Structures are given as C-alpha cells and as structure tokens.
Structure 1
Amino acid sequence: MATLFVENLTVVDFSYLHAKRGMVGESWIVDLELSGDLDAQGMVFDFGRIKKTVKHTVDERVDHRLLVPADNDQLDLHTRDDGHLALTWRYLAGEIRMVTPAGGVLELPGHEISKAGVTLYLMDLIRDAVPDNVSEIHVILREQDTGTAPFYHYSHGLKKHDGNCQRIAHGHRSGIEIFENGRRSRYWEKLWADRWEDIYIGTREDLEGTYYVEETPHHRFRYDAPQGHFELVIPEDHCYLVDCDSTVENLAEHIAGELAREAPGKRFRVRAFEGVGKGAIAEAGEDNPRLAKGGWLTGSSVF
C-alpha cells in the first residue's frame, strides 16, 4: 500500500455558530493524505484529478457557508414555504436570526462545530470522490500559523458578488499588517484585531433598522442577490458598520482611512488579509519627508 499527500489542497472560508461567541468567521487550510493500492498508472490517485474532483467537492459543500450544530438546543432551523431556510440561534449576547437560500447553511451532527466533526464530514464526502483502490483517507484541518501576529475573525456578505460570497453569513480568519511611517506596528495591529474580534461587518446600505430583542439592540440586514433573499438579525454590539460593500479592498481602505484620522500627521500602509494568502493593500495619511525618496522602511516592529 502506498500513500500520497497534498498540502494546501484548498482553504475553506466559512462562519459557524458558537454557544458563547455567536457567529464566528473562520479559515481552515485543508491537507489530504490518500492510501491504497497503485493503479495501472502506478499511482494511488492522479494529482490533477485530486484538484478537479476532491478540491471541488470540499469547496462546494463547505466553503462560504454558515455551519450549524444540528443537535444543539440553541438552534431552531426549518424550511419556509418558499424553500428558504429560517434560522434562530439563542446565546448569551442575544439572538441571531437568518433567512437564506438552502445553500447558505451546512447542518452538521453534534452539539458544536469542531475540527473533528468537519473532518468526519469531509472524509465521507471525499470517499465518494476517489477511486476504489483508495482504502484510507486522512484529512487535516489547520489554521494558518501566524506566530504571535494579531488576527481577527469576521463574517460578512457581499450582495453584488456573482458567486457564493453573496451569502450573508460567511467569514474568514484574517491577519493584518499595519505600517506606521514605514515601520511595522504591532500596537495598531492588535488594536484592530481586538476591534474586529468575532465581528459581523455590515454595509450600512443593507441595514434595514435596529430593533430590541428582550431589551438588547439588534441590527437587521436584508438584501436580494442572484441566489435569493437574505436576512440577518444580530446583536448590535457584535456588528461593525461600514459605508461601503465589505470587500477586502474596501476594508483595507477603511482601516487605512481610520488610522489616518485617529493618528494625524502619520502615514499608514495596511495589508488586510481575507483568509489565507490573499488580501488587499491600502495607504492613507500624510507623507513623511524622510520616506519620500527611499520608500518604505524595514526594521523591527514598533510597540
């Protein structure tokens, strides 16, 4: 029996419901090992076919969805007459209510969403996508190793997107790099990581109103997109409102602009990530004459 491995097969960006934290954006890297007898080509499974079939299967079923634990008493989930799902999640901070086409939610067995539960689900999916000579499947889910660098979990929806990003509740685990006058600043990075910890980033244009649920203010977002109708009610203090669509390009611009406003007289460069290995760069603030000729400085972080 032989074993092949594929590192970084894909990255699944999704959100999930947590008993205490509410809605949490997440990004997990998927590694894969397949063991079995060699086929007529001397392979366990052709790498090209792994990318076309296995990666597609994982992305299609998990990526850009809201994962919910089917056996948790905090969850109420049912299908409406129009085929959309209606969801309610009750937790300490308030309630999360959502209306979404069925493709926006993945219901998994258990009382919580965990790596172990998602791994078992993926193993069953992959088993149907590989040839019969594959006898063992090993799936590894892991976060990006950012060391001590700050990161945040955020959820959002992009109504103008022509793909699955239009789903109102999907998210990312994202790092951020901020340079103040050319030097890396862990102070500002930590500030924004704390500001956007377990946050829902909502577009003001999509905000229908603010309502009280048992004396707790909740924001209500709603929009129509190519996949169908979307609504989300979530506690106000778990939201951050922006005056633009929450694309990573706009979020990088927003952060840079806020930094320039909060620290006048300084120049900022922001590298905002959307999950793993991708993101956007934005700059704002006043140019520093010392940097005008030499470009951005490099050196130790400023704390």
Structure 2
Amino acid sequence: MATLFVENLTVADFSFLHSKRGMVGESWLVDLELTGDLDHQGMVFDFGHIKKRIKQAIDERVDHRLLVPVDCDQASVVERDNDTSLEWQYRGGTIRMVVPSESLLLMPGTEVSKASLTLHLMELVQSVVPENVHEVRIILREEDTGTAPYYHYSHGLKKHDGNCQRIAHGHRSNIHIFENGRRSRYWEKLWADRWEDIYLGTREDLEGTYYIDEIPHHRFRYDAPQGHFELVIPEDHCYLIDTDSTVEQLAAHIAEQLAEEAPGKHFRVRAFEGVGKGAIAEAGENLPGKAHSGWLSGAAVI
C-alpha cells in the first residue's frame, strides 16, 4: 500500500446558503490523498489522470454552483423538469430563486460545511478512481491570507458563455489597495466590510424592489444560454453597480469610488476573484514623478 498526494488540485468557487448569513460566496482549495496498491506501472494512480478525471469531476459537481442543504427547515425546494424553485428563510429576510437545476447542488443535511462537502466529494472521487485505490482523503481549506482583509461575494454574469452565467455563484476574495504608492489596510478593511457576504448585482438585471414581511428585497432576472434565472434577495445584502460584475469591472469600480471618496489621491487596486487570479485598476491623481500608461481608470487581468 502507498499514498500519493496532490496539493491545490483545484479551487472550488461557489456560493452556499447559511442559516444566519444568507447567501455566502466561498473559495476552498482542494487537497487530495489517495491510498492503494501499486498498479502495473508502480503507481497508485497516474498524476495526469488525476487532473483529467478527479479535478474535472469535482469542478463539474461543485464549481460555480449554489449549494443548498435541503434537510434544513429554512429551505423549500421544488424541482420541475429542468428548473428548480427555491425559497430560503433567514434572519435577514427571504431568498427566492427560479433557476436551471444544473446551477444548484442540493446536498443532504442541515448545513453546508467543510465536513459535509468533504464527505460528498469523497464519495464522488471514490466513484471515479480505479479499483486499486482503497482510500480517498480530501482536505478543503481557505487560502491563507494572514491578517489581510477579504470579503465573500456572490454574483452572476449573464453574458458569460460558461458557468459564470449562473446567477448565484461566488468567491472568497482578497483585496490589495495602494494609496499614493503605499498599501492601505484602512481602505482594504473598509471595502471588506462593505462587501461582507454581499450580492453584487448589475442594475440592468434589476427587475424591481419589493417588500416581503416589511423588508425591501431586490429582484434580479435575466436569460442566459443555460436558461432563465431569477433571484429575490434582501436589499441590504446587495450592492448595485452600473456594469457587469466581472473582476475587471469590479476592480475599476473600486478604484473609481476610492478616487471620488478621497480626491487628490492616486489609488491602485488589486481585486481578487477567488484564489490567485484577479484584476488591477488605477484611478485618481497621478503620483508625483510617475508616468502612467493612460488607463488610470481601466483594468487589466493578472
């Protein structure tokens, strides 16, 4: 018997429903261990096949979905053909959705946690590994950002030709903000607090605002290649922007807002989309003695 491991096999970017926080965007790194007998190649499992088979299975099952604990009393789920209607009651208000079923992961249990998702993924991986693999171990973990601020956000990108078009998926994201060339924890903390457990909605997708039990709720709706999407969510858990919520446009929005809130200063924003990727934008006054390329309020993917 031997054990092999793969660190950072993939990053699961998703949102889930929480009993108190509502809709929460998350990004968990996935580490893998496989224990079993050596095959004819002297391997437990070929690393190349792990990425093709196991990573693909995990990504298809979890990535860019909304995870729903269907045994929780707060959840009401009705499946019709290829669509699912969902209602989630929590202390902040009500979340209602009508979405293609493939954009959700309905999980047994009363909560979504590392433990519950780990068990779910272990069963999935066990079904796709060869017979000589006897034990599967999965470790889910957040990116270690130390004391740096971060935020959880959910969104949907109706124009995306992949799974980002799903109206409720999300990320746990770090943010770096530089004011006049120096990193500012003050501004980073301010934006992390501003976007804590937030839904980032595009004004164009906002159908209206309604009251449910005297609480104002935004209703978003759009059609995308995967189908029709509708979301009702408490207004105070939303942040509206005038553009789509791609990370390039989010970085530019933050930089431009900073320049308005602190005139006369220069800001450089590195906004992350989950782990290890994101966009850079700059706005405000030029730094003394520093030439810029003419895109101070633009963004560039990193």
2:13 maps to a residue whose letter is: D
Partners of 1:83 and 1:283 in 2: CA distance: 43
Tell whether the 8 Å contact from 1:208 to 1:220 is kept in structure 2 after alignment. Answer: yes
**Aligned-residue offset at 1:79:** 1.4
CA deviation digits over 1:160-192, x for unaligned, max 9? Answer: 000000000000000000000000000000000
> Counterpart of 2:40 in structure 1: which amino acid?
A
- In structure 2, the partner of 1:26 is 26
Q: Which residue of 2 aligns with 1:114?
A: 113
How many Å separate the matches in 1 of 2:176 and 2:287?
19
Shift of 1:289: 1.2
Residue in structure 1 matched with residue 36 of structure 2 by the alignment: 36
1:129 aligned partner: 128
Aligned partner letter, 1:10: T
Alpha-carbon separation, structure 1, partners of 2:150 and 2:92: 22
2:218 maps to: 219
1:141 is displaced (CA, Å) by 0.1
- 1 CA distance for matches of 2:132 and 2:288? 65
Is residue 2:34 matched to residue 1:56?
no
TM-score (norm 2): 0.96
1:83 Cα offset (Å): 2.8
Deviations 1:132-153 (A, max 9, x none): 0000110000000000000000
Aligned to 2:10: 10
Report the residue type matching 1:77 in the other structure.
V
Partner Cα distance (2:117, 2:15) in 1: 13
Offset at residue 292 of structure 1 (A): 4.4
- Cα distance per residue 1:113-150 (max 9 Å; x no partner): 00000000000000011000000110000000000000
SS class of match (1:86): strand
Q: Which residue of 1 aligns with 2:231?
A: 232
**What code does the residue aligned with 2:42 have?**
G
Matches within 5 A, 1:135-174: 135-174=134-173
Partner of 2:90: 91
In structure 1, list runs of 5 or more residues that go unmatched.
Answer: 294-303
Separation in structure 2 between the aligned mates of residue 291 and residue 180 of structure 1, nearest angstrom: 14
* Matches of 1:115 and 1:70, distance apart in 2: 16
| Structure 2: gaps spanning 5 or more residues | 293-302
SS of 1:168 mapped into structure 2: coil
Task: Give the TM-score taking structure 1 as reference length.
Answer: 0.95
Q: Secondary structure at the match of 1:146?
A: coil
Paired with 2:5 and 2:98, the residues of 1 have a C-alpha distance of 39
Please give the secondary structure, in 1, of the residue aligned with 2:58. helix
- Distance of 1:189 and 1:106 partners within structure 2: 32
Supply the AA of the counterpart residue of 1:84.
D
- Partner amino acid for 2:282? E
2:264 counterpart SS class: coil
Do the aligned partners of 1:155 and 1:170 also contact (CA within 8 Å) in 2? yes
Number of residue-to-residue matches in the alignment: 292
In structure 1, the residue matched to 2:104 is 105
Is the Cα–Cα contact under 8 Å of residues 159 and 223 in structure 1 kept in the other structure? Answer: yes
SS at match of 1:289: coil
State how far apart, in whole Å, the 2-side matches of 1:129 and 1:213 are. 45
Deviations 1:40-98 (A, max 9, x none): 00000000000000000000000000001111010000113x53100000011110000
Q: Distance in 1 between matches of 2:68 and 2:83?
A: 16
CA contact (8 A) 1:17 1:23 kept: yes
The residue type paired with residue 152 of structure 1 is Y
Q: Does residue 1:203 correspond to 2:202, yes or no? A: yes
CA distance, structure 1, for counterparts of residue 15 and residue 178 of structure 2: 29
Tell me, in whole angstroms, the C-alpha distance in 1 between the residues paired with 2:138 and 2:288.
52
Task: Give the C-alpha shift of residue 109 in structure 1.
Answer: 1.1
Aligned-pair identity (%): 76
> Structure 1 stretch 71-80 or stretch 247-256: which is displaced more?
71-80
Structure 1 contact 182–291 (Cα < 8 Å) conserved: no
